[in-house]
Amino acid sequence: MQLAIAHDTIARWQFGVTTVYHFLFVPLTISLAALVAGLETAWVRTGKEKYFHATKFWGKLFLINIAMGVVTGIVQEFQFGMNWSDYSRFVGDVFGAPLAMEALIAFFFESTFIGLWIFGWDKLPKKIHCACIWLVAIGTMLSAYFILAANSWMQHPTGYTIDPVTKRAQLTDIGKVLFQDTTLVVVFHTLTAAFLTGAAFVVGIASWHLWKAKRKPASADQRRTASMRTSLRLGLVLAVVAGLGTALSGDTLAKVMFEQQPMKMASAEALWDTQAPAPFSIFAVGNVQKGHNSVELEIPGILSFLAKSDFHSPVPGINDTAAAEAAKYGGKPSDYIPDIFVTYWGFRLMIGFGMTSFVAGAIGLWTTRKKWFLAPEFRTGEDEPPRLMLTRTRELGPTLTKWSWRIGILTMGFPLVANSFGWIFTEMGRQPWSVFGLLTTADSVSPNVGVGTQVIAFSTFTALYAVLAVIEVRLLAKYAKAGPDVDERPPAKDPRLRGPGSDEDADRPLAFAY
């Protein structure tokens, strides 16, 4: 029995580390692809160089991020055959369908058109080149959709039947898998959270450059500042919009989960007994063995409203839900109670870090509304070169500006933390199930993989990911600090307009644009 527990635990730790690490790159890939596409569209439409410089700058960071995300994503999929063979046998006919669609459709879009975008800056017409990055952005969102559809099926199985002979799940309706309410809400929530992540990333880096620009008189800094100011405003607007979308979609998702997985939501609130009205827990210290909270601070009725849009509706508690699941599936009620500490605090840290980024975006958007935070004013004297000056048109301007920069930089990684805790809560709150109501996690692991093999694989992957994390951070920091290359000029002519026989018309090998 102890060996089985160790076997299951190590497999879960390895998949958890791989998943959380991989998901650090996914939100940035999704959001930066769309942001770069929007900036290039602005450049194509207006011809302004500040948009071109911003496109190239954020595109470089996007390419670093997506390269690391692809590598870690491939490793993640291999684990289904390594540590989770019984899971793969049981659900492969259903779970494999959206994953195959992700590879054949979404990843095709990403891999094909990102190559054209990288190498086609001086080979493709502007509009076609811009269309390539939009197709990459669409591909990243499609990829997320198909993968989240597969995960949503694990949360709420539908569109399947159990073969009476093989005892395996068989797909009967792909439409239900792809378009059930769980999938649609989860996709919207994940995408809005991804754009909040990208917005905070852009705001943080732009804030750092603009803070530095206050003391730099070089003419190149004026162009760099224009590019970073545009990026900052774009990031702030996106942070507010995406933050609102994340909150609204999160509320909808919570209502769906209250219906489909009442144990997950009860554990998120440490609600041990069914109550009507049910309070929202601000702080609690519980006793799992005794099934109650020793210390708690609550707001009456709020949980009922979040669950049923009614301040007086009953919400099932952990004890009653565990007893009901034990009666339905067998075993002891304690077998169906997840780790309350992880789910309770994971839920709060997800909300706390995510909404802090939204508030920071709202503050930044307000303080920059009149562009007095860093205006393009120049003072010229006999012995004084042109300088970019901080405008003082408002009495509180300098104070608010100083704290605005600091908040923008300090909260840059907050959505990444929120995303990680969100996934930990989502997956830990479903335990003991790998497929809710159908297959337990303990029954999903590979029976013929020894504990020693798992320990070696887990240690190797963890060490390798630590090295990759250092490389990723150093690369991003290096190119983020360098800022936009304002000396680079956009392609001078549309390739279709180059005259025959000219030097520009000569065939040249494709060159890596970065």
Of 22-26, 301-305, 404-408, which has the strongest mean pLDDT?
22-26
Q: Render pLDDT for 342-389 as a digit per residue (tens, 0 to 9).
A: 999 999 999 999 999 999 888 888 877 665 444 444 333 444 443 434
Six-digit token string for 164: 């009476």
C-alpha 380/C-alpha 14 separation (Å) is: 61
Residue 311 has pLDDT above 60, yes or no: yes
Q: Render pLDDT for 76-103 as a digit per residue (tens, 0 to 9).
A: 777 887 888 899 899 989 988 998 898 8
- Which of 355, 328, 351 has its CA nearest to residue 436? 328
C-alpha 330/C-alpha 328 separation (Å) is: 6
Q: Hey, how many other C-beta atoms are within 10 angstroms of the C-beta on 183?
A: 24
3-state class of 162 per DSSP? Answer: strand
C-alpha 99/C-alpha 105 separation (Å) is: 10
pLDDT score, position 377: 40
C-alpha 193/C-alpha 354 separation (Å) is: 8
The reply to whether omega before 316 is within 30° of 0 (cis) is: no
AA identity, residue 251: D
C-alpha 106/C-alpha 135 separation (Å) is: 10
Six-digit token string for 474: 């150093």
- C-alpha distance from residue 440 to each of 86, 166, 422, 433, 489 (Å): 11, 18, 21, 4, 58
Six-digit token string for 468: 């990759």
Six-digit token string for 507: 């065939």
Mean pLDDT lowest for which of 92-96, 173-177, 400-404, 460-464? Answer: 400-404
Six-digit token string for 161: 């039947």
pTM for the whole thing? Answer: 0.87
- Which of 143, 145, 160, 6 has its CA nearest to residue 83? 6
Place of tokens 């798992």: 454
Q: Hey, how many other C-beta atoms are within 10 angstroms of the C-beta on 269?
A: 25
Q: Hey, how many other C-beta atoms are within 10 angstroms of the C-beta on 289?
A: 7
pLDDT score, position 291: 66
Q: What is the mean pLDDT of the chain?
A: 83
C-alpha 437/C-alpha 443 separation (Å) is: 12
Confidence of residue 18 (pLDDT cuts 50, 70, 90): confident
At a CB cut-off of 8 Å and minimum separation 6, what does 54 contact?
Answer: 39, 227, 228, 230, 231, 484
pLDDT score, position 495: 54
Residue 238 has pLDDT above 50, yes or no: yes
393-421: average pLDDT: 72
Six-digit token string for 159: 């569109």
Place of tokens 């199930």: 433
